[in-house]
Structure 1
Amino acid sequence: MTTFPNFLDTVTTTVLGTKPLKENPRHRALLDAFTKVQNLEERLLTAITTPPEPGTGVSGLMEACTDLLIERLDAGYDLSMLLSADCCCAADVAAVERCRPCGLEQDEECCQEPAEPTANLLDACSSVFAELGHPHAVASADLVDALRHLPGTAGNHWRYSDLTQARLAELLAPHGMRTRDITLPDGRRRKSYLREALLTAMGVCTSC
């Protein structure tokens, strides 16, 4: 995806002698959410129309499509939240009320960059793993269900109670944590987070 300002926009401002425009984080979030929905729909269409690999059968195709469909629904929900939320940056807004999805009050700090969000999120994920007996992996859906019961903000203005699988993936990606297709002990094959990846993200030596 083309970022803003890109190369051509930078050349334009240089040639015209104008000042670079500052990107609005809320507008970027809307654009990123919309692009993510489009990409997931393309991947879902490709998965549905591509014949399954030999040996995987229809069940393998259905699992892949189901995981993509869940991601698409989560991304669509995030986009709907951004589109339906009242803008808290208008100059004429005087009332102080909750502004979703950021969850902050309508004041001068509402749309500023959030404070470091995920330091406590990693600890929260570690606690979930501990409560489950330190398994090799935890399904993304199960991890989200457990984290939703926590108070406070997980990151990017999202409260723990508002977490989705897509949002959790976005918060954990900068730490090198990404889901993998794992067959869990109960026989479910789900997109899951590995305990080793979590420990690495927390700076814990896994080879000691």
Structure 2
Amino acid sequence: MTTFPNFLDTATTTLLGTKPLRENPHHRALLDAFIKVQNLEEQLLAAITTPPAPGAGISGLMEACTDLLIERLDAGCDLSELLSSDYCCAADRAVVEPCVPCGLETGEECCQEPAEPTAGLLDACCNVFAQLGHPHAVASADLVDALRHLPGIAGKHWRYSDLTQARLAELLAPHGMRTRDITLPDGRRRKSYSREALLTAMGVCTSC
């Protein structure tokens, strides 16, 4: 499967002299999650059908398949959250959503939805990294668990207490922050946010 924009789409835009369309972060997150599920299923099928290396035995095959299965289940949960999200295009949201979906008292603050995550969310993520001893990366699930204890609104209509991994990914995507499969200090390999990406999003030079 190819993704947008690819070479042909870019060439078409150039030839026609049209303006490139702005990518919707939520739609991109959906596409990335779907592609990841497909890739993991292909890897899992290949691992199951490929004979184990000499001397590896069935235990090695089971270990490899178990790790891939866990990653596939995690990716499936993320995709399900994105598909079930109440996010929609801004033009439609005002029609289909009530005035106070976030549960706040009716007022201007509730109805003024920021287009991008606030600096407060980035600061909150930075504080979590600091509390954990400034690791090079923090698992998405661990970051969400820590942020859910905070009061207030994280972004859009979502309170910190209502954050999920998919919602956090949607809020951080406009700042160029995306999860990557990273092996953490405790040995777990999880979908994680890197400290370097967070500092870059906050405008902190990481090469000094």
Say which structure, 1 or 2, has more relative contact order (CA 8 Å, 6+ apart): 2
Query: Superposed, which structure 2 residues align to 1:7-156 within 5 Å?
Result: 39=35, 41-51=37-47, 57-82=61-86, 89=94, 98-99=100-101, 114-156=114-156
Task: In structure 2, give the amino acid aligned to 1:166.
Answer: A
2:184–2:190 contact (8 Å) kept in structure 1: yes
Q: Give 1:180 deviation, angstroms.
A: 2.5
Task: In structure 2, give the amino acid aligned to 1:71.
Answer: A
1:88–1:111 contact (8 Å) kept in structure 2: no
2:100–2:110 contact (8 Å) kept in structure 1: no
Q: Give 1:111 deviation, angstroms.
A: 7.5
Give 3-state SS (helix, strand or coil) of 2:181's partner.
strand
Q: Distance in 1 between matches of 2:111 and 2:35?
A: 27
The aligned counterpart of 1:161 is: 161
Q: Give 1:169 deviation, angstroms.
A: 1.9
The aligned counterpart of 1:16 is: none
Q: Distance in 2 between matches of 1:198 and 1:148?
A: 18
Q: What is the TM-score when the length of structure 2 is the normalising length? A: 0.64
Give 3-state SS (helix, strand or coil) of 1:135's partner.
coil
Give percent identity, aligned residues only: 59
- Could you report, residue by residue, the CA deviation over 1:63-84 in whole angstroms, capped at 9, with x for unpaired residues? 233233223213323433539x
Q: Give 1:143 deviation, angstroms.
A: 0.7
1:88–1:107 contact (8 Å) kept in structure 2: no
More helix by share: 2
Q: Give 1:203 deviation, angstroms.
A: 1.0
Aligned residues: 180
Q: Distance in 2 between matches of 1:196 and 1:71?
A: 23
Give 3-state SS (helix, strand or coil) of 1:65's partner.
helix
The aligned counterpart of 2:192 is: 192
Task: In structure 1, give the amino acid aligned to 2:198.
Answer: L
Backbone CA RMSD of aligned residues:
4.1
- Could you report, residue by residue, the CA deviation over 1:127-165 in whole angstroms, capped at 9, with x for unpaired residues? 001111111211111111101111122223222112112
Q: Distance in 1 between matches of 2:38 and 2:65?
A: 16
Q: Distance in 1 between matches of 2:204 and 2:40?
A: 36
Q: What is the TM-score when the length of structure 1 is the normalising length? A: 0.64
Give 3-state SS (helix, strand or coil) of 1:191's partner.
strand
Cα 1:158–1:78 change in 2 (3 A) is farther
Unmatched 5+ stretches in structure 2: 6-11, 13-23
